[in-house]
Structure 1
Amino acid sequence: MWPAPGATGPVEAVVSLPGSKSITNRALLLAAIADGPSVVRRALRSRDTTLMAAALTGLGATVDTTGEDWTVTPGDLRGPAHVDCGLAGTVMRFVPPVAALADGTVTFDGDPHMRTRPVGGVLDSLRALGADVDDDGRGALPFAVRGTGAVSGGTVLLDASSSSQFVSALLLAGARYERGVDVRHDGEPVPSLPHIEMTVAMVREHGVEIDDSEPDRWRVAPGPVAPVDRTVEPDLSNAAPFLALAAVTGGTVTVRDWPRRTTQAGDALREILALMGCEVELGGAGLRVTGPTALLGIDHDLHDVGELAPAVAALCALATTPSHLRGIAHIRHHETDRITALATELSALGADVSEHADGLSLRPAPLHGGTFHTYADHRMAHAAVIVGAAVPGVLVEDVATTGKTFPDFAGFWSDLFR
């Protein structure tokens, strides 16, 4: 149990955040299948990204992670190999389409909870595209991809309503398939569309032709993947607890190097915090947020930015007016069932919360201290520390889970209160 630091007054801080996990892992994978070496500058060094580096190294690439800038040199993709997915959805879903290009068998497994997260959409799609996948019909870890050195590719129909990563996984490797890929989604709206937009933009930067002009359809032409040296943006979703600190204490927090244009879902924090009464300004120094006298609740659809839901829910629990967060049924399949987990943990601290199939309703109520469980989910830990900044006596169970995307988060966070 980790005692969450409490603020005794408005917090004033300027912070520099580690790089984006989403961008780092996409960059590493694209570099590993490119036609020459690439450099990933300011790569995030965290559990998720080191697992990705290890997976690609096991398949034959060389990923030098010794410095701040990581060099990736492609190699002949081969098996046998084993991929440890840990708790990284990007490893579990993005690496199998590359493993299908390897010559040999590649096995996949991860932490116990990962065996409950859906990956069947990717595995079924790979079978339809000509790959040999064995998961004993589970659609989940553990599974094996038996590569023959090539994948025929072509058209595939899938339901990506549970995760946008199903689409991104196929787009990232599609140019290496003999006929490319024509991915068509059939189902409820795809969540977290900004992540697919990020994938499309990064694939194009490698010189790959990709057509996303039709709704729910993405066509990747077969062809070379050019090497690219890129600099990773700060992780804007990881900015949520820091900007929330300004919101709940009436202070001012600036996040340095906030990009003017980005495909990261975390950029939606600017709109959300403004709706909650904060002053939000994007300038040369970064994104500056100043908290209000009274934090306002919101009625907001978070479908495209579900990863922000835990932090936003924590803010809503501290707001002076009611809130309704909707469109996030898919976050039940993230590191944990985040809707139920948030309702359970916030209620345990006194919050007035109602759980719905696709979201949460929160009404103003006095909060008190207590234990906040994280369910091995870094975003749940973010929610806990936000509440803890405003409510004395909050104990965070397993704050170390934040290492998934932010090394030494606890130490970094504590320093802001000194």
Structure 2
Amino acid sequence: MNPNASQLWPGRRWTLALLLATLSMIGPFSIDTYIPAFAGIAQSLGATPVEMQQTLSAYLLAFALMNLFHGALADSFGRRPVVLVGMTVFALASLGCALSQSIGQLLLFRALQGMSAGAGMVVSRAVIRDMFPPHEAQRVMSQVTLFFGLAPAIAPIIGGQLFVWLGWPSIFGLLALIGLGLSLLMGARLPETLDPAQRQPFSVGHLMRGYVQLGGSARFMALCLASGVPFNGMFLYVLSAPVFLGEHMHLPPTRFFYLFLMTIGGIMAGAWLSGRLAGRISPHRQVRHGFQIMGGVGLLNVGLNALVPVSPWWALPILGVYSLGWAMMVPVVTLLVLDQAPERRGMASSLQACIGSVANALVAGALAPLVMHSLMGLAWASLGLMATGLLAWAWVRPRLPQGGHGAPVAAVVRAG
């Protein structure tokens, strides 16, 4: 934690949370806005459904790759420069998407979007832990999740309406304006929260040693899997939305926002609940409750798909409750991840984001196309993703102190 934190942000805690939430939301917002326009983009560019699905995979893989470096760069050069460069590049990449004349060009600029969008999410997590002690950090992390949930909730509504009235390039034009606006806002308001005494030397050897030491920690990796993989139990349905909502639910693109309202509503409710529980129950107990909720509704989802005709009236609320369970536990697990490397929180955040993004990309590029045409396939895949995270948590929980904040990976916290 920065010893001068109170001077860096003398205002209310929720205003900093709101500022950081605007950074965190850019990644999911740039996914959710263009999903309603999939068919229109494919027709305009002469692309196949598989090629359109790869625009998601290209974004997510690039997001995962660059996430390895955002946090490490922020540990060496500071939080502000990484955010400002990232948002500027995102704005330019979004403009390139809007001007694309072929599916190849769109894939290229979507990858560039993914490389830059992660800067906000990775650095914002490190800023939170720079500024607040554990229980306060959990509350702020929950507030960030709560605020950021507003953006993807309205993203498909905005994207669907822009597509209908102005065409699909206008969606990426809006993203370019958002990226530019965020760059200007962060330049004016975001303080530099990295204590100069904690700056790390920037060298390839030092970075690689840090990644090897963190990546070689079974405890660290298990915590990353416990936080990132269960998210895909819900995200699988978002990635499959054109088929899940269009073919199975028979909903038009202008009503795709029903899914997003349920999932984001669940995330916001879970984040609010997580903040309320911070300091009142043990972190381990809170994580257990989150997995109990996800596991219960996951089993219910499988049972209903096997026995009852599909209907938005029950299928979508189930995903909302699942999202609540995930958002209830993920702020706790994320802080456990960051506390594995107290002096390299940027690197820890980077590696966590990378692992989660690789999982997202694999689900988008391989699992979603495989199961999206079967409701039972979607339900079982969602349950399996949740179970993977649960197994990781069951393994790591006994290896963490009962207070909830894991002992650091000692070798990583040295300056090298």
**TM bracket, shorter-chain basis:** under 0.3
Task: Between the two structures, name the one with larger relative contact order (CA 8 Å, sep ≥ 6).
Answer: 2
User: TM-score normalised to the size of structure 1?
Assistant: 0.25
Higher helix fraction: Structure 1 or Structure 2? 2
Query: TM-score, normalised on structure 2?
Result: 0.25
